[in-house]
Amino acid sequence: MRTEVAVVGAGPAGLLLAHLLAADGVDCVVLESRSREYVEGRIRAGILEASTVDVFDRAGLGERLHREGFAHRGIHLHWPHERHHLDFVDLVGRGVWVYGQTELTKDLGAAHDRAGSARWYDVSDTALHDIETDRPYVTFVDDEGAAQRMDADVVVGCDGSFGPSRQAVPRDVQDVWQRDYPYAWLGVLADVAPSTDELIYAWHPDGFALHSMRSAHVSRLYLQVEPGTDIEDWSDERIWDALATRLGDGHDGWQLMPGPITDKSVLPMRSFVAAPMRHGRLFLAGDAAHIVPPTGAKGLNLAVADVAVLAEALRQLLRKHDASLADAYSQTALRRVWRCTHFSWWMTTMLHATGDPFDAQLQLAQLQWVATSTAGMTGLAENYAGLPLALEA
Ligand code: FAS
Ligand code: PHB
């Protein structure tokens, strides 16, 4: 079989790239190792930057997002006895949207259904070949156990942090940076109306907590736990007690309303960047190239930003035989990747308790400045609401 662009991975990056390329008449095939139901059911990100919403609007994918998503002007920063609202729209002229990654992936899947796109789910043994030539190909075993080969002009690795694509880049040309944080997040989904209008990021000596949401009836909350925490150690009651303490239940009359927990998971916190994001005819996008701790709500948005830049680069390469944007892709994408990696590290280290009393004083001093100085608030707002897509040099 032959296509122009073989995309490995049908998460948001892979599906969005294939959708944008197909809109430009570029032939694509998407290969995915899990089932469609599994991919669309994975509970992950929830915050979309304005530039992400713009990409979906321009691609004709924004209708349900605008109907069911929530436009937020900003966030609340909370620490014991203090709560401050940062209004991003006042500060930098743009806010963010609350719309679950699961919904975004379903919208992308529906668009591919309408377009009759070529997607292979439940594949296995995916392997990339001859990526240093102009005739790369991908081999895999399909869901019926038959060995398949897909020849392509370009292969794009959108296969997340554990896929084969990043491994296909030779070690001697690849730089990798990684930082593992000394804490993890316990995330819960609860069938209860959010107790807040906008997200609450809370510092507390016991640990960080975040109150987010998915709809008017579903709350999404996180609390800092030790790495490797066994979810069985956290009963619903213990989770709600810790969230109430850390989020400031009772502060100025504010109350956290508990409810039935429908999903619990522990996710590790790490920063990871692999460069270059292109080797020969292989391009990497999204988590395949970088991972950020979710404190800055950047993971999904970075994947979209990579894809928006890469789709145009591949259109120029394959339709106009102009390789200039493709040759610049890695450098262009990495500028935003490092800006977002820094911001995610900055938010994470400002808000997570380490148990060290000196750290605690530094964090509280930083929070006091960020939440009460226009310069501090603007710096957070500019990064959280998102920078323009293709960062200037
Ligand atoms: P994805 O990981 O979404 O998609 C990669 C796809 O490739 C997967 O479907 C996988 O099955 C497939 N694949 C892997 N190996 C393959 C192979 N060999 N062959 C074929 N297919 C293969 N971000 C936030 O902003 N906020 C959050 O709260 C947040 N929470 C997260 C929680 C968890 C548990 C995880 C893991 C990530 C979270 N993220 C969060 C980040 C997340 O949203 C990612 O940034 C986003 O999914 C990136 O999208 P993709 O790059 O498409 O990668
Ligand atoms: C979420 O709603 O899942 C979410 C929101 C903000 C974050 C991380 C996760 O920083």
pLDDT, one tens digit per residue, over 290-320 is 999 999 999 999 999 999 999 999 999 999 9
d(CA 201, CA 205): 14
Report CA(299)–ligand 2 centroid distance (Å). 10
CA dist., res. 317 & res. 326, Å (int): 7
User: Would 88 be classed as within a structural domain?
Assistant: no
Q: Reduce the DSSP state of residue 277 to 3 states and report it.
A: coil
Q: Which residue has the tokens 């960047």?
A: 273
Q: What is the 3-state secondary structure (H, E, C) of 286-316?
A: HHHCEECCHHHCCHHHHHHHHHHHHHHHHHH
Nearest to 366 by CA among 187, 201, 135: 201
Give the single-character DSSP code of 131: T
Could you confirm whether 293 is annotated as catalytic? no
Does residue 160 sit within a domain?
Answer: yes
Does any domain span residue 261?
no
Four-residue CA torsion sign, 162, 164, 168, 169: negative
43 part of a folded domain = yes
Average pLDDT along the chain: 96
Q: In 3D, which of 352, 339, 291 has the Cα closest to residue 162?
A: 291
Which of the 8 DSSP states describes residue 252? G
Structural domain tally of the chain? Answer: 1
Please give the share of the chain, as a percent, with pLDDT higher than 70: 99
CA 209, CA 80: separation in Å to the nearest integer?
Answer: 12
Beta strand residue intervals within the chain, DSSP E: 5-8, 28-31, 47-49, 70-72, 74-79, 82-87, 96-98, 118-120, 124-129, 137-141, 147-151, 154-157, 175-190, 200-202, 209-213, 219-225, 261-275, 278-279, 282-284, 290-291
pLDDT value, residue 143: 97
In the set 136, 164, 258, 294, the catalytic residue is 294
Q: Residue 190 carries which side chain, given as an amino acid letter?
A: A
Does any domain span residue 251?
Answer: no
For residue 159, how far is its CA from the centre of ligand 2 (angstroms)? 21
Residue 393: pLDDT band by 50, 70, 90 thresholds? very low
The pLDDT value recorded for residue 387 is: 86
Q: Which one-letter DSSP state was computed for residue 206?
A: T
Both tokens of 58, joined, read 């321009």
The finding on whether 96 has its CB within 6 A of some atom of ligand 2 is no
Q: How far is CA 216 from the centre of its chain?
A: 22
Both tokens of residue 355? 């148990």
Q: What is the CB neighbour count within 10 angstroms for residue 240?
A: 21
Question: Quick count: other Cβ atoms within 10 Å of Cβ 59?
Answer: 16
Domain that holds residue 44: 5-73+97-177+270-353
Domain membership flag for residue 296:
yes
Beta bridge partners of 76: 85, 200
Q: Any catalytic annotation for residue 384?
A: yes
Given CA atoms 329, 335, 341, 344 in this order, what sign does their dihedral have? negative
pLDDT digits (tens, 9 = 90+) for 114-141: 999 999 999 999 999 999 999 999 999 9
Give the pLDDT score at 390.
65
Assess whether the C-beta atom of 348 lies below 6 angstroms from ligand 2. no
Instruction: Give the count of beta carbons closer than 10 Å to the beta carbon of residue 391.
Output: 16
Residue 187 lies in a domain: no
Compute the residue count for the chain: 393
Tokens in use for 314? Answer: 């591949």
Ligand nearest to the CA of 347: 2
Q: Is 385 helix (H, G, I), strand (E, B) or coil?
A: coil
Within a domain: residue 19? Answer: yes
**Percent of the chain predicted with pLDDT > 90:** 98
- Give the residues surrounding ligand 1 with Cβ less than 6 Å away: 8-14, 31-34, 39, 44-46, 101, 123, 126, 158-160, 163-164, 267, 286-288, 294, 297-300, 303
For residue 164, give the ligand 1 atom closest to its CA.
18
Taking 70 as the threshold, does the pLDDT of residue 108 lie above it?
yes
**Who's near 212: CB < 8 A, 6+ residues apart?**
46, 47, 98, 194, 199, 219, 220, 221, 222
Give the residue whose CA is nearest to atom 6 of ligand 2.
297
Which atom in ligand 2 lies closest to the alpha carbon of residue 212? 2
Confidence at 388, pLDDT banded by 50, 70, 90: confident
Residues 179-233 pLDDT 10s: 999 999 999 999 999 999 999 999 999 999 999 999 999 999 999 999 999 999 9
CATH number reported for the structural domain that contains residue 113 in this entry = 3.50.50.60
- Across the range 31-38, mean pLDDT stands at 98
Give the dihedral sign, CA 97/99/101/106: negative
Instruction: Please say if the pLDDT value at position 392 is more than 90.
Output: no
Q: What is the pLDDT of residues 263-278, one digit of tens each?
A: 999 999 999 999 999 9
- The rounded Å distance from CA 345 to ligand 2 centre is 15
The model's pLDDT over 3-19, given as tens digits with 9 standing for 90+, comes to 999 999 999 999 999 99
Predicted local confidence at residue 389, as pLDDT: 79
Ligand 2: which atom is nearest the Cα of residue 44?
3
